Amino acid sequence: MASILQSIQIKEKGFVNLRVNEIFGVNEVIWLVFMKKLLFVVFFGLLFSLAFAADNNFVWSDDLKEAKLATNNIAQQIISLRENGFKTTRITDEFSLIKQVYENNYLREKNGFLADYSLIKTKVAALNTLIALIYTTHDELAALDAAIVQASKELDVSAAKEIYLSAKQEYDDERYEFVSPKIDLTYEKINELQSLEAKTAAAYEATRKNVSAFFEDNWHYIALIVIVPSVIYLIFRKKIKRTRKLARLEANRAEINVLKKEMMASQEKYFVQQKLPESEYHIKIRLYAEKIRNLNGENALLEKELLELKVPESKIYKQKKDKE
């Protein structure tokens, strides 16, 4: 009986040991993974703590502090420009260079090397000047536009407006340094135009006064000069018309006779003397005939008008017979 109980105890003990080994055998892998993760977290935590402690121990120089303050100020001004609708492409490019130089100097100081902030100071000063110029030229362009509108009510400002548009284009291209000189040129052109307008107005006023004084002093002579010829014309206007038309008719008939003689001379040179080429002969005859036809048409109209003016036919056609 005792031996049976002893064997049972031995079996139970072996079974318990076997269960313990199985449990630890299954969880050993999980345990190892957990420990690796814990060591990884602890390792990087220590590295971060060391880096943080080193950064806290880093003492910023006055130049570095000034550079950081200056760059932050420029960044805020760029944001303000954008919020107000101004272009910032040029300024942003310049600011990127400043940031790069600042970061390089920061790392040099942090690692114990000598840093040079002269370029940052120069660039920051230039950017501050440029930003101030943006606002200044914007206001100057607005004032100039108002001046052009006002001046256009009294004179032609196209020449001044051309310079103004050129200045505005420089502003839109962010070439702010060239805006103010062109604004000054525009004002000079407006003043020049106003001065010219004033001189013209003064000359006109002086001329008007002189003319008025002349008429006031000589109105009776002027009246005679105007009235006498007018009266003479009213009295003799029909006779004058008849005389002019008869003279014109006589001149046309004389020209027709000359053209006929030229035609005869051309015919003689072509047919008799054979000195005139055929092509030239035909051209001349055609031109002479066309000119005579036009003159005859004009003469017919003149003869009709003379008959309407009650000029005797004998006088009209007598001239014709005389010319023939």
Residue 60 confidence (pLDDT): 82
Give Cα 256 to chain centroid, integer Å: 63
- Last residue in a domain, options 111, 131, 151: 151
Residue 77 confidence (pLDDT): 94
Report the chain's terminal Cα–Cα distance, integer Å: 187
**Cβ partners under 8 Å of residue 193, min gap 6:** 151, 155, 156, 157, 159, 160
67 and 40 co-located in one domain: no
67 and 15 co-located in one domain: no
Rounded (10°) angle between helices 62-83 and 89-110: 160
45 and 26 co-located in one domain: yes
Quick check: 266 and 284 in contact, CB under 8 A?
Answer: yes
| 119 domain residue, yes or no | yes
* Total tally of structural domains belonging to the chain: 3
Residue 133 confidence (pLDDT): 94
Residue 241 confidence (pLDDT): 83
What is the residue range of 261's domain?
237-323
Integer Cα distance of 218 and 206 in angstroms: 18
Residue 20 confidence (pLDDT): 40
36 and 90 co-located in one domain: no
| 77 domain residue, yes or no | yes
23 and 76 co-located in one domain: no
| 215 domain residue, yes or no | no
Residue-by-residue DSSP string for 15-55: HHHHHHHHHHHHHHHHHHHHHHHHHHHHHHHHHHHHHHHHH
- Last residue in a domain, options 135, 151, 167: 151
Which pairs from 58-62 meet CB under 8 Å and 24+ separation?
58/109, 58/110, 60/109, 61/109, 61/115
Residue 182 confidence (pLDDT): 94
Integer Cα distance of 156 and 202 in angstroms: 18
Closest to 249 (Cα-Cα) out of 154, 155, 175, 320: 320
pLDDT by residue, tens only, the chain of 324 residues: 444 444 434 444 444 444 444 444 545 666 666 666 666 555 544 544 444 344 456 678 888 889 899 899 999 999 999 999 999 999 999 999 999 998 998 988 888 888 888 999 999 999 999 999 999 999 999 999 999 999 888 888 899 999 999 999 999 999 999 999 999 999 999 999 888 877 777 677 777 777 777 777 777 677 778 787 777 777 777 788 888 888 888 898 889 899 989 989 888 888 888 888 988 889 989 998 999 999 989 988 888 888 888 888 777 776 555 555
Integer Cα distance of 299 and 255 in angstroms: 11
89 and 29 co-located in one domain: no
Q: Which two tokens stand for residue 185?
A: 């040129």
Under DSSP, the state recorded for 177 is: G
Quick check: 316 and 307 in contact, CB under 8 A?
Answer: yes
Helix extents (H) in the chain: 2-57, 62-83, 89-110, 118-151, 158-172, 179-267, 278-308, 313-323
Dihedral pair phi/psi, residue 98, rounded to 5°? -60, -45
49 and 65 co-located in one domain: no
CA–CA–CA angle 170, 172, 175 (5° rounding): 45
| 308 domain residue, yes or no | yes
pTM over 0.75: no
| 307 domain residue, yes or no | yes
Residue 310 — left, alpha, or beta (φ > 0 → left; ψ -120 to 50 → alpha)? left
34 and 66 co-located in one domain: no
Quick check: 222 and 215 in contact, CB under 8 A?
Answer: yes
- Last residue in a domain, options 125, 151, 177: 151
Dihedral pair phi/psi, residue 55, rounded to 5°? -65, -40
Residue 310 confidence (pLDDT): 80
Quick check: 170 and 213 in contact, CB under 8 A?
Answer: no
Integer Cα distance of 320 and 295 in angstroms: 13
Integer Cα distance of 163 and 185 in angstroms: 7
Token pair 């009295």 is at which residue? 235
